[in-house]
Amino acid sequence: MSSVAIVVYTLGLLFFGWHRILAYLRYFQQEEYSATRFWAWIREKRAFDRRGLCVATITTLLTYFTTTPTALLLVAALGSLAFVGIARFIEEDPRTSGKIRLTMTQRATKIAQVSFIVFFGLSFVWMLCACPTCHAASQSYDPFQTVAQLSIILVMLPPALLMVANLLLSPAERSLQQSFLNDAKRILAEVDPFVIGITGSYGKTGAKAALGELLTQCLGPTFWPKKSINTVMGITRTIRETMRPYHKYAVIEMGAYNIGSIKRLCDFTPPRASLVTAVGIMHLERFGSPENVYRAKSEIAQALPEDGILVCNGDSPNARRMASEHARQTTLLYGLDRSAGHLDCFASDISFDDKGTRFVIHWRGSQYPGRTPLLGRPALSNALGAFTMACALGADPAYAVACMANLEPVDNRLVLDRKPAVSFLRDAYNSNPTGFAAALEVLKTLPATQRVVMTPGMIELGDQQFSENRRLASEAAHVANLIIVVGSANREAILAGLGDAGFSKDATILVDSRDEAFSVIQSRCGAGSLVLIENDLGDLHEGRVRF
Amino acid sequence: MTKRIRVAVLFGGRSVEHEISVISALQLMLAIDPERYDVTPVYIAPSGKWYTGAALLDRGLYRSVPGSLARLQEVTLLPKPGVGGLTKIGGPVDMAKQALHFESEIIPIDIFLPVFHGQYGEDGCIQGLFELANVPYTGSNVPASAITMNKYLCKMYLRQHGVPVLPAISVHRAEAIRDIQKAATWIRSQEGFSSFPLFVKPCNLGSSIGVSRVSEAADLAPALAKVFRYDTTALIEPCVSNLMEINVSIRDSDGVHASVVEIPVSQSGVLSYEEKYLRDGGKKSGPSQGMASLTRVIDPPDLDTAIRDRVIELGRRSFALLGCSGVARLDFILDLSSGELYFNELNAFPGSCSFYLWARSQPRVLYTQLIDDMIETALRTFAINATLDRDIGLKALK
């Protein structure tokens, strides 16, 4: 009877284990398979298994009160059912639900499989050790009890298993990546497009899309990886899948994850022109100091040949500094604010309405009135950077301005969603102080009966995180009638900022998740309300994680 | 029972109207008479690859393209006469299956039924392939398809034959990119184009994609730039502000026949892609039925019979002048201020095959019958063409 109990219980445990592996893998993937970052996240969020631990512990305790084999079997079956129930019915499948889903890439599949094999192996070995035949002589304890006790340890293992599996697979993964990389290099050499590198603490994805579109329309077929693909492996994959012999230009977004990462990208796809959208304080935690951020970003200018083209955002002091320290044959500054110094290209007469942004571009002695469906100053700044680069490469400025009217917003970066009841202004991607302030400006300008800000605040701002969140919360207080603070990441800073501005406590609502925030909006916002969703953190940083 | 005719229904394609084609084809395959025809669905993916398989009848498959294509058999039509059908290509060759069923690498097809909207399918491209392969196919032939797809050429040709059309001018992408302001100034200097509003549309596209109604000078350049995302030629027309659209479907089957007329209803003055193909401007859930679900008035009882007769008369004439075949839909514009009627465009393969118009016509023609007639006409045309003597022997090389 004990053997049957062990088998029944172990089956439930295995089922649970597989689901746990997938659930953790989703976050491991979001942390880009970095064991250090994953472990830091687990500790920060205390994302240890609680539900599995509960089931294992209760089952173990129950075995102490069980005397008959039938009761033992019942306990085992209950434990097994609880495992299956949690995995199957209480928790969601990370592959099909959640904000950032688990994508079963080849790498993810392999890691999941290896982790499960180890999990299965351990369960099996322990089951064998506890097997009645091994303890035929000893009647002092029940073998099922041993299995239950050991399962307490087993349920805690999946995160560790993932890291181990990743380590085991890394040599094979590296050689596979190397072969992909070589293939991409061969394609690049054959196609030989004119490469334009883009970097910036923010705005680079928007600028990339705008530049890709302007170059395609004005000058010729242009290759650019969609979304925010900006790593060597991401670019490798896109080159292998979508680069074609007719591509004349390639716009490559280069992400700075640490010092040297842009240099690696520049070695891979050597740029002949570079666009720097901003050098700010984003991801300060990774770099240590603003000076290091500057050094990391400067690699994109250093990589340019002497006759290269460097286009920098003059509104960002450090991008301006880069233009002077690494000047090339053609060095151009663009911007929206002429108070900071000379600009080769700037926009004036900026206004916002439901159809987007209107402006007048000043370039080489001429004025070009235009409009774009993109909303807000940051989007206009990115489009202006793209415009400057396109013109530097030979596009007709008037045609480039005409094309700006047909740009499409990049996902969730200040997009207006007008509805008869409540309208939304979504600025959901990686919020930063400049973007936040610009979103508030748009929120203030557009017509609405009630203005609402829903935000978890900004993250990855190092030691300025508290002060920046406090400052912008206080700015938000001057624009919004209702402020919904999501999660706990920046709750104190935001509340402090709202306090500074004397914002009404009744109009400040604290919620744990975005779902809760939406139900608040449903109940408190009347027709004609405009809700700014500022920042929508991944599950990684959301207030609660439950396992 | 006579042997069923093996029909390949081709749809999808490398066109912006890809989805609409899928909707039209799924409708058509539901309506086709299974007792008379053995249907082989052939889906041309956006990549341009051809696939066949029973799974193509399931609407859900198209949501997960390209992943779901793995379940299908890749095929092609070789551009040489005498193959007898579609040639299977790629994929693992199932030796056992072949041995058991003596399955050949050819899927036999008697006639091809293209259900495409827009480029590569409705513009003579695929028709050219059918001609090269020397297979019967439904609908218009190469020159008729090509000229009706190019809105500018079509208008100029019909105007030459006395069919009234609105003035139109065209601008090429290369000129505009060189100097957009010059192009805009040139447009404004043409007679009848100095005042707004103007319509700016892609010359070779249907479905209202890339169309703008320009009401001020500042919007002309952006509108042209929008067109050049989709097409290399822009068509500019004056905008009749007080207008009514009147459409009629024309088909040939033992003579040329006209359907009842329809008046499509639009909220914004110009039918958008969403209005044409997504119910409720794309907001409502539930599968779209394409053109068949558009808000419209079919056979409006209060329409002046003189106008109705003129639409039908001009429709039949244009259809014949252009040398069309199968089922076409012709769109006319009635200037409500002047009472003038203008030919606007011709769809060589209209959305939903205009079945909803024929179902209300006298005599009533149901979709199944419509398809029957299309196939019969095509087979007859093919037989006639086959009698043409192309073999004049060697003379110059002798």
Highest mean pLDDT (candidates A44-48, A93-97, A529-533): A529-533
Position A181 in a domain: no
Same domain flag for A163 and A196: no
**pLDDT at B272 (0 to 100):** 57
pLDDT in tens, B167-199: 999 999 999 999 999 999 999 999 889 999 999
Residues A12 and A149 in one domain: yes
Candidates A217, A396, A401; nearest CB to B228: A217
pLDDT of residue A546: 65
Q: How far apart are CA A530 and CA A1, in angstroms?
A: 65
Is A117 part of a structural domain of the chain? yes
A339 plus A425 within the same structural domain: no
At residue A226 the predicted structure's pLDDT band, cuts being 50, 70 and 90, is confident
A217–B229 C-beta distance less than 8 A: yes
**Bridge pairing between strands A482-486 and A508-511:** parallel
Residue where one domain finishes, among candidates A363, A385, A404: A404
**DSSP H or E stretch at residue A262:** helix A261-268
Amino acid at site B257: H
Distance CA A26, CA A434 (A): 30
Looking at the fold, whether A167 and A205 belong to one and the same domain comes out as no
Give the pLDDT confidence of B338-379 residue by residue, as tens digits.
989 999 999 999 988 999 999 999 889 999 999 999 999 999
> Are residue A266 and residue A213 in the same domain, yes or no?
yes
A198 token code pair: 């883009």
Q: Do B180 and A217 touch (CB under 8 A)?
A: no
Is residue A379 in a domain? yes
Radius of gyration for chain A, computed over Cα atoms and rounded to the nearest angstrom: 28
Tell me, yes or no, whether A56 lies in a domain.
Answer: yes
CB atoms within 10 A of CB B177: 22
pLDDT at B56: 94
Decide if A405 and B222 are in contact by the 8 Å CB cutoff: yes
A498 in the same domain as A429: yes
Query: Positive or negative CA dihedral for A136, A141, A147, A150?
Result: negative
For residue B179, with 0-12 CB atoms within 10 Å meaning exposed, 13-18 middle and 19 or more buried, which class applies? middle
Chain B hits for A405, Cβ within 8 Å: 219, 221-222, 225-226
Q: Is A465 on the interface with B (CB under 8 A)?
A: no
Tokens for A543? Answer: 């207030």
Domain final residue, candidates A375, A404, A433: A404
- The answer to the question of residue A528 being in a domain is yes
pTM, full prediction: 0.76
- Closest chain A residue to the Cα of B183, Cα to Cα: A399
pLDDT band at B117 (very low <50, low <70, confident <90, very high): very high
Is the preceding peptide bond at B197 cis, omega within 30 degrees of 0?
yes
Spatial strand order of the sheet with A423-427 comes to A415-417, A423-427, A529-534, A450-455, A482-486, A508-511
Nearest CA in chain A to B178: A396
Neighbouring-strand partners of residue A312? A276, A333
Q: Are A218 and B176 in contact (CB under 8 A)?
A: no
Taking Cα atoms as reference points, which of B277, B347, B358, B323 lies closest to residue B115? B347
Does residue A183 belong to any structural domain of this protein?
no
How close B177 gets to chain A, by Cα (Å)? 6
CA-to-CA distance for B229 and A217, rounded, in angstroms? 7
Q: Is the same domain home to A351 and A435?
A: no
Q: What is the distance between the alpha carbons of residues A271 and A264, in angstroms, rounded to a whole number?
A: 12
Contact between A348 and A360 under an 8 Å Cβ cutoff? The reply is yes
Smallest CA-to-CA distance from A319 within A387, A436, A327, A251 is with A327
Please identify, among A136, A171, A206, the residue that sits at the C-terminal boundary of a domain: A171
Residues B286-299 have a mean pLDDT of 67
> Strand A249-253 vs strand A222-223: parallel, antiparallel, or unpaired?
parallel
- CATH of residue A464: 3.90.190.20
Chain B contact for A370 (CB, 8 A cutoff): yes
Which tokens sit at B180? 């957009």
User: Which 8-state DSSP code applies to residue B3?
Assistant: P
Determine the pLDDT at residue A461: 78
User: Best residue in A403, A408, A417, A418 to probe B by mutation, most B CBs within 10 Å?
Assistant: A403
Given a contact cutoff of 8 angstroms between Cβ atoms, the answer to whether B342 and B164 are in contact is yes
Taken in order of first residue, the domains within chain B and their CATH numbers are 5-137 (3.40.50.20), 169-238 (3.30.1490.20), 242-384 (3.30.470.20)
User: Could you give the angle at which helices A69-85 and A51-64 cross, rounded to 10 degrees?
Assistant: 170
ipTM score assigned to the predicted complex: 0.74
Q: A306: exposed, middle or buried (C-beta count within 10 Å: 0-12, 13-18, 19+)?
A: exposed
- Are A98 and A201 in the same domain? no
DSSP codes of every residue in A460-473? --GGGHHHHHHHHH
Q: Identify whether A180 is part of a domain.
A: no
Q: Are A214 and A75 part of one and the same domain?
A: no
**Quick one: A93 and A199 in the same domain?**
no
- Assigned domain for A184 exists: no
CA pair distance A479, B152, nearest whole angstrom: 52
What is the rounded CA–CA span in Å between residue B104 and residue B92? Answer: 14
Give the pLDDT confidence score for residue B279 in this predicted structure.
Answer: 43
Say whether both A60 and A100 belong to one domain: yes
Provide the token pair at A150.
């050991």
What the block records as the tokens of A506 is 């009744």
Question: Which of B228, B230, B284 to mutate against chain A (most A CBs within 10 Å)?
Answer: B228
Q: Average pLDDT of A53-74? A: 88
Residue B285: its pLDDT value, please?
A: 45
Q: Are residues A487 and A525 in the same domain?
A: yes
Q: Provide the CATH number for the domain around residue A232.
A: 3.40.1190.10
Which chain A residues touch B226 with a CB distance below 8 Å?
A: 405-406
The domain tally of chain A equals 3
Q: Nearest CA to A414 among A389, A388, A387, A441?
A: A441
Question: What residues make up the domain containing A313?
Answer: 192-404
Sign of the CA dihedral B223, B227, B233, B235? Answer: negative
Position B209 pLDDT exceeds 90:
no
Mean pLDDT on B291-299: 72
